[in-house]
Chain A
Amino acid sequence: MDVDAGGPSATVRLAFPPEPRLLGTIRLVVGIVARKAGMGAEGIEDLKVAVSETCAVAVGDLNRAGLTDPIEVDLVEGAERLGIEVRDHAPASAPASGGPRDGEVDDRELGLALVGALVDDLKTSALEGGGNRTSFWLRRDPAGLDLSVLEPGGPGLSSLDPRQDDLPPPLT
C-alpha cells in the first residue's frame, strides 16, 4: 500500500488478537502515529473512529467464527495523506452480526456508514485464502485543501477527485 505513488512513505504495522478490550489501545496507537505524522486534531479523531469501527467488525467476525488469528493494521504515511489497511482472517462464510439487539439499531450498518462518511476511497475485498481486507485513506489536513481550484479559470472540482490518485494494488 503506497499512498503517494513515487513519493516517500513509511509503514507502521500493528497486529492484535481479536479482543474488544484492545480496541482502545489500537485507537491510542493510531492517534499517536497520526499526530506524529502531522495530522490535524479533527483528522486524528476521524481516523480513530474509522480504524476502530473497521477493527470492531473484524473482531466480531473472528469471535463469531471462533478464531483468534491476529488482526493486522497498516498505517502508511504519505506526504499528503495517511493510508490505512486492515486485514483479518475471518472466513467469508462467517455469519453476519446476527442483527441488532431488541430495540436497537444495527450498529454494524451504522459503523459502515460512519467509516464511509469519514474517509476517502474506502475499499473492501476478500483475501486470498480467506479473510477480508479494508483500505482507505485520510488527508493529513482536510482543512488545508487548496481551494484555489475553485477560482475563476482554475481547474475546478474535478482536480480534487481522489480517484485521480488511486491507491496502487494492495499487498497480498
Chain B
Amino acid sequence: MDLDLNVRKEGDHSVLEVAGEIDVYTAPKLREQLIELVSDGSYHIVVDLEKVDFLDSTGLGVLVGGLKRVRNHDGSLQLVCTQEKILKIFRITGLTKVFPIHSSVGDAVSAPAE
C-alpha cells in the first residue's frame, strides 16, 4: 500500500493529484506535501482525489488542516472527486459544506474564488 502524490501548476492553482489509500499510515505524507506547498507560496490548491481508493478520518483531518493553512493566506483548497464511496465519507462527516467539491480539475481551477 502506498500513496502517490504529483503536483503540477494550472494557472494560479497548484494541482495535487493523489493516488492510492489515505489512512493513518499514509496521511502524514499528504500532510507534509500540503505544508510544503503552502510554505512555497501556493495558496490556491486543488486536491484531485479521483485516483484515491480509500479515505479515512485521518485523511479528512489532513485536508481540513490544509484548508485552514491556505485560508490563513486568503487562499483556497478545492477538491475533485466523483467517486461515490469517497463522496459518502465527506457527506457523513458534513464536510461537503466545508470543501468545494468539483467533478473535474478544469471545473475547480475555473471556479470563482469564494
B48 CB–A CB distance under 8 Å: no
Chain A residues near B93 (CB-CB < 8 A): 110, 113-114
Contact size range, A: 20 to 34
A135 CB–B CB distance under 8 Å: no
Within B22-57, the residues touching A (CB, 8 Å) are 23-25, 31, 54, 56-57
Are B89 and A103 touching (Cβ within 8 A)? no
B72 → A minimal CB distance (Å): 8
On B, residues with C-beta under 8 Å from A are 1, 21, 23-25, 31, 54, 56-58, 60-62, 64-65, 68-69, 84-85, 88-89, 92-93
Q: Which of A4-12, A53-61, A136-144, A154-162 contacts B (4 or more CB under 8 A)?
A: A53-61
Chain A residues near B88 (CB-CB < 8 A): 45
Give the top 10 A-B pairs by smallest Cβ distance, nearest first. Answer: A24-B1, A111-B57, A107-B61, A104-B65, A110-B57, A20-B25, A107-B57, A103-B68, A104-B61, A103-B65
Within A37-92, the residues touching B (CB, 8 Å) are 42, 45, 48-49, 52-53, 56, 59-60
Chain A residues near B58 (CB-CB < 8 A): 56, 107, 111
The dominant DSSP class at the A interface is helix
Complex CA–CA separation, A76 to B85 (angstroms): 24
Chain A residues near B61 (CB-CB < 8 A): 100-101, 104-107, 110
On whether A103 and B23 interact (CB within 8 A), knowing A110-B60, A114-B57, the answer reads no
On whether A20 and B92 interact (CB within 8 A), knowing A104-B65, A105-B64, A114-B57, the answer reads no
B37 → A minimal CB distance (Å): 14
Chain B residues near A110 (CB-CB < 8 A): 57, 60-61, 93
Additional A-B contact list (9), CB under 8 Å, known A23-B24, A25-B1, A49-B89: A21-B1, A21-B25, A49-B54, A60-B24, A105-B60, A107-B57, A107-B60, A110-B93, A111-B57
Chain B residues near A150 (CB-CB < 8 A): none
B59 → A minimal CB distance (Å): 8
Are B64 and A24 touching (Cβ within 8 A)? no
